[in-house]
A and B are shown apart, each in its own frame.
Chain A
Amino acid sequence: MSSVTQTPSMLLDEVDDVNEVFMASQRTLIWWRFRKHKLALISAIVIIAMYLMAIFADFVAPYTPNSYSVSHQYAPPMQVHFLLETEDGTRFIPHVFAYNFTRDPVSLKQTFEPDPDNVVTLQFFAPLEEPRMFLGMFEIHHSLFGASVESGERFHLLGADKLGRDVLSRVIYGAQLSLSIGLFGVFISLFLGILLGGLSGLYGGVVDNIIQRVIEFVVSLPSIPLWLGLSAALPPQWSVVQVYLFITIILSLRGWTGLARVVRGKFLALRSEEFVMAAQLDGSRQLRLIFRHMLPSFTSHIIASLTLAIPSMIIGETALSFLGLGLRPPAVSWGVLLQDAQAVNVVISAPWLLLPAVAVTIAVMAFNFFGDGLRDAADPYGR
C-alpha cells in the first residue's frame, strides 16, 4: 500500500514540472508543503503582525499605557463613522463622536452619550500631544493613528478602564510582555530540552532511564498549584524585570519536557540510520556527528514543537497574572489587564474589559495553527 520510494507524492500534482519536485531542496519542499496549509499561512501573517505591533507599540498605540482621563472612567467603546457632512458635502473622514459624560447624583450611575455635535476626526500619522520615546531610543512626535489635535478630545475605540485609560493602547503595549514571555520561555525550554533529551537519546541506558523518570515526574505534577506556590514566594519588592525573568523560568520548568521527548525520539530513530553509521565509520567525531549530520535532519521538527509550546506559555502568564501572582501593575501584560475583569459585576457593566482575552485567544490560536502547519511541513515526505 505505502510507497517505498521517498517521493513527496502529495506535491506532485501541484507543480507543473514533475522534475522540479525531485530536484527541489528540503527547504523548498517544506515551504511548498507549508503553503498548502492555508490556515497556517494566515496564522503566520497574524503572528508576524502581532510581533510587529508589540515591537512598534510606542508608535502604533494612540496613547501611552498610563495616560488617563478622569472623565472617561469605564467609557464604552466608541463607534467609528466614516462619512462626515461638511460644508462641501459628504466627505470620507473617519471620525467618532465625543461623549457627554453625566453622573446620576443619586445612584452615581455614569452615562455616556455620544454627542453628534462634538466630532473628533481621526487621521493617520496624527501628531502627539507630548512626544514619546520610541523604545527608549529616540523621540517620536506622531503615532500611527490618532485624533487630530484641534478637537482636543480623547477617543477610545475599545473603551476605557476604571481609571479612564485607553484599553486599545494597553492591549497593544501588553503584547510586549505577553508575547515575549512565551518566546523567552521557549528558548529556555529549548536549551534544557535539547540538552537533556539529547543526552537521553544519545547515551540511553541509565542516563535515559533517569531523565525519563524526571520527565514523567514533572509531567505528572499539576502545573498551576506549583506555579502558584513558586510565584507566591516572590519577594514583593522585586522589580518588574526580575519578576518577569522569574515567571519565564517558572513557565519553562515544565515546558522543556515536551521538547526533550521530541529530541530523544529523533535521536533514537536517527542513531540506527545508515547515513549516521556511514559518518561514524568515516571517523567523524561525536560533536560533528550530532551537529553536522543528525541535528539538521530534525531542526524542522524542533521548530514545530517550539511553536506549539509557545501558546501554553502565553496562557500560563495570563493565568498567573490574572490571579495576581504573576506580573503586577504597573507592568502591562494581557494577564495584568484581565485582573480588572475578575469580578463578574464589573464584566457585566463593562464587558470591553474582557477584550485583552480576545487578544490572548487570537495569539494562542494563531500559534496553534502555525505550529500545526509547521509540523506537517517539517516532514515533506510524509502523507
Chain B
Amino acid sequence: MTRFIIKRLFYMVPTLLAISLVAFLIIQLPPGDFLSTYVSNREAQGEVVDQAEITNLRNRYGLDQSLPVQYIIWMGNVLQGDFGQSFQHNRPVSDLIWERLTLTMLLSTGSIILTWLIAFPVGIYSAVRQYSMGDYIFTTIGFIGLSIPNFLFALILMVVAFKFFNISVGGLFSPDYATAAWSWEKFVDLLQHIWIPIIVIGTASTAGLIRIMRANLLDELHRPYVTTARAKGQSEFVLIVRYPVREALNPFVSTIGYTLPQLVSGSIIVAVVLSLPTTGPLLLAALRSQDMYLAGTLVLMLSVMTVVGTLISDILLAWLDPRIRVSLGRS
C-alpha cells in the first residue's frame, strides 16, 4: 500500500508541473505585462507611482527576462509561498485566497458527502427494483437534474425562496458575521447558510452518480455468486449489501476523481450567482480586471485541489480493491 501511494505521488509531479505551466500561460496571455497595467491603473486613479517601487516589482517578477526565466522565477516564488501581488486589491495574493479556498473546499466536500448520501441508496434501490415505479421516478428526476445547468437551479431556488418564503438566499454569512473573526457563533451562522449552495452544487452530480451506481449494480446482480448466496439462504439485504454493492462501489469510488473537478467548476458559477465568499467570484473579478497574479494563483490552487482529490480517490480505490492495489503496485 505504501509503495502504491509513493508511486501515485510520483505520478503527480508531471501533472502538477503541467498545471503550473497552464496557470502561467493564463497569466501571460493578455497583451502587455501586468506592471504596465498596474502603473496605468494607479495613475488613472490620480496616484503618483514611485519609480523605486516599479523597479522593485520588476526585479521581483523578472519582467525584463525571457518567458522561461519568468516562469522559473514565478515558480520559485510560489514554492516559497509568495504568490505575487494582487494589483486590484494592492495586497499580497496569499492574504486574499486562503479563507476563500478553505470555504471552497468545505463547500466541495459537503457537496460530495451529500451527493453520496443521496446517490448511494437511491442507486441501489433503482437497481434492485429495476423498472419499478420508484426507479422510473428517480430516473426521470435524475435526467432533469442532469439537464438543468447548476447556476440556473441556483437562480430558480433563490427566486422561489424569496417569493414564497420571503428569505433572501445568498452569501455564506449573515451581515453581522461576514467580517467578524471566527467564533462558534460564526460557525453556526455558516452552517445555517451553507446548505443551500451545497444542495445546488450537489444535485447535478447526484444524477450522474445514481446512473453509475444503478448500472454497476445491475451488472453484478445477475452474477452466479449472487444466486449461490441466495440459494444458501442468505437474507436479501445482507446479500445485496455485502457482495454486489461492494463490487459495484469500485467504479463509484473512481468517479470521485472526475466528480471533484466538476464540483469545483460548478461551484464557481453557483458562487457567482449566490454571491458566496468563495474563490469563484474572486477569480471572475480577477479575470475581468486582468489582475493576473491573483487569477493565475486561483487557477493553480483550484487545479491542485482537484489533483489532490483525484489522488485521494485513487488511494481509496486501492484500499477498497486489492486487485487494483496489486496491479498498480507491480506495473
Interface 1/0 per residue, B130-154 and A, CB below 8 Å: 0000000000000110111101100
Beta-carbon contact of B307 and A220 below 8 Å? yes
Q: Which residues of A contact B146 (CB under 8 A)?
A: 364-365, 368
For residue A220, give the distance in angstroms from its CB to the closest CB of chain B: 5
With A319-B269, A348-B162 as contacts: A229 and B295 at CB distance below 8 Å? yes
Q: Which residues of B contact A224 (CB under 8 A)?
A: 264-266, 268-269
Judge whether B249 is part of the interface by a CB distance below 8 angstroms.
Answer: no
Q: Which 9 A-B pairs have the closest CB atoms?
A: A233-B29, A224-B265, A232-B287, A229-B26, A365-B147, A222-B264, A364-B147, A222-B261, A357-B152
Judge whether B284 is part of the interface by a CB distance below 8 angstroms.
Answer: yes
For residue B311, give the distance in angstroms from its CB to the closest CB of chain A: 10
With A221-B261, A221-B306, A225-B303 as contacts: A361 and B148 at CB distance below 8 Å? yes
Judge whether B258 is part of the interface by a CB distance below 8 angstroms.
Answer: yes
Q: Which residues of A contact B152 (CB under 8 A)?
A: 338, 354, 357, 360-361
For residue B302, give the distance in angstroms from its CB to the closest CB of chain A: 5
Beta-carbon contact of B284 and A228 below 8 Å? yes
Judge whether A67 is part of the interface by a CB distance below 8 angstroms.
Answer: no
For residue B264, give the distance in angstroms from its CB to the closest CB of chain A: 4
Q: Which residues of A contact B26 (CB under 8 A)?
A: 226, 229-230, 232-233
Beta-carbon contact of A226 and B30 below 8 Å? no
User: With A and B bound together, what is the CA distance between A213 and B17 in angstroms?
Assistant: 13
With A226-B22, A226-B299 as contacts: A220 and B155 at CB distance below 8 Å? no
Beta-carbon contact of A225 and B15 below 8 Å? no
Query: Which of B149, B168, B307 lies in contact with A319, CB distance below 8 A?
Result: B149
Query: Which of A311, A318, A325, A365 lies in contact with B144, CB distance below 8 A?
Result: A365
Query: Which of A216, A232, A361 lies in contact with B147, CB distance below 8 A?
Result: A361
Beta-carbon contact of B261 and A223 below 8 Å? yes
User: With A and B bound together, what is the CA distance between A354 and B160 in angstroms?
Assistant: 13
What would 27 A/B residue contacts be, using CB atoms closer than 8 Å?
A: A1-B224, A221-B303, A224-B264, A225-B299, A226-B299, A228-B268, A228-B287, A229-B295, A229-B296, A229-B299, A232-B26, A311-B147, A315-B149, A319-B149, A322-B151, A325-B288, A344-B155, A344-B168, A347-B155, A347-B159, A348-B162, A357-B148, A357-B149, A357-B155, A361-B152, A364-B147, A365-B147
User: With A and B bound together, what is the CA distance between A163 and B22 in angstroms?
Assistant: 41
User: With A and B bound together, what is the CA distance between A266 and B30 in angstroms?
Assistant: 41
Beta-carbon contact of A225 and B264 below 8 Å? yes
Of chain A, the residue at the smallest CB distance from B218 is A383
User: With A and B bound together, what is the CA distance between A27 and B168 in angstroms?
Assistant: 55
Of chain A, the residue at the smallest CB distance from B14 is A213
Beta-carbon contact of B155 and A365 below 8 Å? no
User: With A and B bound together, what is the CA distance between A136 and B156 in angstroms?
Assistant: 38
Query: Within residues 271 to 328 of chain B, which ones have a CB less than 8 A from any CB in chain A?
Result: 272-273, 283-284, 287-288, 290, 295-296, 298-299, 302-303, 306-307, 310
For residue A187, give the distance in angstroms from its CB to the closest CB of chain B: 23
Beta-carbon contact of B14 and A342 below 8 Å? no
Q: Which residues of A contact B155 (CB under 8 A)?
A: 341, 344, 347, 354, 357
Judge whether A369 is part of the interface by a CB distance below 8 angstroms.
Answer: yes
Judge whether A323 is part of the interface by a CB distance below 8 angstroms.
Answer: yes
For residue B23, give the distance in angstroms from its CB to the closest CB of chain A: 8
Beta-carbon contact of A323 and B261 below 8 Å? no
Interface 1/0 per residue, A334-364 and B, CB below 8 Å: 0000100110100110010010010011001
Beta-carbon contact of A225 and B283 below 8 Å? yes
Beta-carbon contact of B299 and A348 below 8 Å? no
Q: Which residues of B contact A225 (CB under 8 A)?
A: 264-265, 268, 283, 298-299, 302-303
Query: Within residues 223 to 245 of chain A, which ones have a CB less than 8 A from any CB in chain B?
Result: 223-226, 228-230, 232-233, 235
Judge whether A217 is part of the interface by a CB distance below 8 angstroms.
Answer: yes
With A219-B261, A221-B22, A229-B26 as contacts: A348 and B306 at CB distance below 8 Å? no
Judge whether B31 is part of the interface by a CB distance below 8 angstroms.
Answer: yes
Beta-carbon contact of B151 and A232 below 8 Å? no
Q: Which residues of B contact A323 (CB under 8 A)?
A: 269, 272, 284
For residue A374, give the distance in angstroms from its CB to the closest CB of chain B: 15
Interface residue total, chain A, C-beta cutoff 8 A: 41
Most buried by B among A223, A224, A368: A224
For residue B59, give the distance in angstroms from its CB to the closest CB of chain A: 26
Judge whether B170 is part of the interface by a CB distance below 8 angstroms.
Answer: yes
Judge whether B330 is part of the interface by a CB distance below 8 angstroms.
Answer: no
Q: Which residues of A contact B268 (CB under 8 A)?
A: 222, 224-225, 228
Of chain B, the residue at the smallest CB distance from A223 is B265
User: With A and B bound together, what is the CA distance between A233 and B224 in angstroms?
Assistant: 57
For residue A46, give the distance in angstroms from its CB to the closest CB of chain B: 12
Q: Which residues of A contact B303 (CB under 8 A)?
A: 220-222, 225-226
User: With A and B bound together, what is the CA distance between A364 and B310 in angstroms?
Assistant: 28
Beta-carbon contact of A235 and B31 below 8 Å? yes
Beta-carbon contact of A220 and B261 below 8 Å? yes
With A225-B299, A226-B299, A325-B287 as contacts: A319 and B151 at CB distance below 8 Å? yes
Interface 1/0 per residue, A33-55 and B, CB below 8 Å: 00000000000000000000000
Of chain B, the residue at the smallest CB distance from A366 is B147
Q: Which residues of B contact A361 (CB under 8 A)?
A: 144, 147-149, 152
Interface 1/0 per residue, A271-284 and B, CB below 8 Å: 00000000000000
Beta-carbon contact of B19 and A221 below 8 Å? yes
For residue B13, give the distance in angstroms from its CB to the closest CB of chain A: 12
User: With A and B bound together, what is the CA distance between A369 and B265 in angstroms?
Assistant: 24
Beta-carbon contact of A351 and B149 below 8 Å? no
User: With A and B bound together, what is the CA distance between A344 and B307 in angstroms?
Assistant: 34
User: With A and B bound together, what is the CA distance between A224 and B265 in angstroms?
Assistant: 5
Query: Within residues 40 to 65 of chain B, which ones have a CB less than 8 A from any CB in chain A?
Result: none
Beta-carbon contact of B147 and A351 below 8 Å? no
Interface 1/0 per residue, B238-269 and A, CB below 8 Å: 00000000000000000001100110111011
Of chain B, the residue at the smallest CB distance from A233 is B29
Q: Which residues of B contact A230 (CB under 8 A)?
A: 26, 29
Interface 1/0 per residue, A234-274 and B, CB below 8 Å: 01000000000000000000000000000000000000000
Query: Within residues 94 to 115 of chain A, which ones have a CB less than 8 A from any CB in chain B?
Result: none
Judge whether B222 is part of the interface by a CB distance below 8 angstroms.
Answer: yes
